[in-house]
Structure 1
């Protein structure tokens, strides 16, 4: 008996031995724009706008009708330069000018929301700046000192949405796995687990999402060593073995989890494949819309995550 939970259109059965044809494609998720929040007329500032996620967020913000502020944080060498992102001229400012620039922009746009997709080393300094100036922010950047990040917001008067995973459907899957792990501990006791994940070659470490899913399986009774994760980073293998479309080799996230019963008569497969960055950009804009609403309502809770956004239920 086999049970499969699969988001993409292509099916990888017995993925550890079977080759997938290169011309297979994952499905795209189209989210209608008919249910935009009434709080969709606020200005948004995206840091850093020249990165792949920054560009994707600006594109999504523009298509949603948000006012993209023509200012963004960059490195010191970029300071003062104007770049074009999605047809918009945006001026970059380095670390030494961040505070004065942000304060000026916030003074001009008091309902500003900042989106941060910078680098792990900048997470804490940026969050402290946002809180010092008083600007609500969406933190999509991973890494940094996370306990310090949360303390920074808790000690301020700023509302923030913090999530290392902005893909709404992926977050929903993780939340479902967490519920299953809490309510049915040991349900998969004795089962063996195989995990394969494929990301662009520039990603050296194992996926945090994969580690989270493995953690839930461990609560369900599965024994697994994180070193056993099969990391696929070779483009040839990604095309021939995993089925990644060639045009998405530079940006994808394919995850496969295969469980087998002790006697080998039962197997379960869980799979979620993402091509490109649109799923994360869409989730980021929903997060910004959600946060703007909470700021407007003067919500008592200050720190939110993507599960809060999902529970609100009025995403685009």
Structure 2
């Protein structure tokens, strides 16, 4: 039978990749593709509903898992619609603020929802194991992150950088909002001990690169993750969709639950 999939933003860079990878996967069925109004021309897939309105589409594909890599506002609205019709949804959108994340958690009480700012296996393994390194190094090491993405990326710092920084802060027993430093300029004085800097680079067509620095006495440790293709994010989302299809509503799931 396979898991039925609906791709939101199907003509975008990530959406198009998700469509093609779904069609190539024997365990998945592309049953729906949704785009914004006036942008569905040329979208023809066998046995697949095409629509520019998710509310019109979902009654035709009950139980299908929605995959969404659009925008914070669109993803929150999508989650509310998914909850209305009982469709599970995988969300890979970045840049969601706390209120938007809370809105997703509320919708997750009514239908299975999954959200991860980075779907790659490598990044999620770092999130699992980095706390051990932080705790082993101890407080003598200053922690910083530099993230690099393509020039078209709209949010800064990246959702992945924020997730990694929050992971490091938690390992030190800090509240991230109390120690974050996203920009430095002018005469800033000495670096506080309880601080995590996250700096942003934008340019070209870089898919995504994150380096965590641990500056200690007489040495420096660097841990870098580089995404070579968006395919790694699409593969993670499809893996999450397969897993989510068998879950129940109740809370907002993450990649840690899949692993």
TM-score bracket, normalised by the shorter chain, equals 0.7 to 0.9
Q: 1:87-110: per-residue Cα shift (whole Å, max 9, x none)?
A: 76966433xx4323211232xxxx
Deviation of 1:179 (Å): 5.4
Q: For the residues of structure 1 that align with 2:131 and 2:142, how far apart are their CA atoms?
A: 19
Matched, 1:47 2:8: yes
Contact 1:83 1:92 in 2 (8 A): yes
Kept after mapping to 2: 8 A contact 1:82/1:90: no
Match of 1:291 in 2: 244
Higher RCO (CA-CA < 8 Å; seq separation 6+): 1
Relative to the length of structure 2, the TM-score reads: 0.79
String of CA shifts for 1:147-184, please: whole Å, max 9, x gaps: 01111221x2x222222221122112112224555xx3
Larger radius of gyration: 1
Contact 1:160 1:303 in 2 (8 A): yes
SS in 1 for 2:38: helix
User: Per-residue CA shift, 1:236-294, capped at 9, x if unaligned?
Assistant: xxxxxxxxxxxxx2x411112222224xx222111111111111111111101111233
Tell me the equivalent position of 1:232.
201
Which of 165, 170, 177 is 2:118 aligned to?
Answer: 165
Report the more deviating stretch, 136-145 or 122-131.
136-145
Secondary structure at the aligned position of 1:272 is classed as strand
In the superposition, relative to structure 1, how do residues 113 and 91 fare at CA in structure 2: closer, same or farther (>3 Å)?
closer
Q: How many residues align?
A: 236
Do the aligned partners of 2:146 and 2:212 also contact (CA within 8 Å) in 1? Answer: yes
Deviation at 1:302, TM superposition (A): 5.0
Instruction: For 1:52 and 1:260, locate their aligned partners in 2 and report how far apart those are by CA, in whole Å.
Output: 37
Structure 1 residues 113 and 230: CA distance shift in structure 2, 3 A: closer
Residue by residue, what CA displacement relative to the aligned partner does 1:108-130 show, whole Å, maximum 9, x if unpaired?
A: xxx42221222222112111111
**Aligned CA-pair RMSD:** 2.8
CA spacing shift, 1:83–1:53, aligned 2, 3 Å: same
Alignment-derived partner of residue 98 in structure 1: 54
Match of residue 134 from structure 1: 86
Aligned-partner SS, 1:83: coil
Give unmatched runs, 5+ long, in structure 1: 1-39, 236-248, 311-316
Q: Does 1:253 align with 2:208?
A: yes
CA distance in 2, matches of 1:172, 1:119: 25
Q: Is the 8 A contact 1:78 1:93 kept in 2?
A: no
Quote the residue 1:198 is aligned against.
148
**1:82–1:91 Cα contact (<8 Å) kept:** no
